[in-house]
């Protein structure tokens, strides 16, 4: 749970163009082996985590991902 000082994870739809993002995500995996695809996903997670920058929000995201 977020504290009063910590921002809350946005879980409602918030992406401007979700279908376009999904297409770009799928396209980024084209031609990759399973190992390369997993590595791409790991790098993407780290880049987005760096962009978010808030450990409390990232922990909320990890918990939400495990529950879904």
- Span 53-61, mean pLDDT? 97
Q: What is the pTM of this model?
A: 0.83
Give the residue from 17, 31, 67, 23 showing the smallest Cα distance to 59.
67
- Does residue 56 form part of some domain? yes
Q: Count CB atoms within 10 A of the CB of residue 63.
A: 12
Q: Mention every residue, 6+ apart, whose C-beta is less than 8 A from residue 63.
A: none
pLDDT for 13-52, tens place per residue?
999 999 999 999 999 999 999 999 999 999 999 999 999 9
Number of domains observed in the structure of the chain: 1
- Residue 47 domain boundaries: 18-67
Quote the pLDDT of residue 1: 55
DSSP conformational letter for 10: P
- Does residue 12 form part of some domain? no
- Does residue 32 form part of some domain? yes
């Amino acid at each position: 749970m977020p504290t009063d000082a910590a921002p809350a994870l946005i879980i409602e739809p918030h992406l401007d163009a979700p279908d376009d993002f999904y297409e770009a995500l799928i396209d980024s995996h084209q031609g990759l082996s399973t190992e390369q695809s997993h590595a791409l996903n790991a790098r993407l997670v780290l880049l987005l985590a760096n962009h978010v920058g808030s450990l409390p929000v990232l922990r909320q995201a990890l918990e939400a991902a495990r529950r879904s």
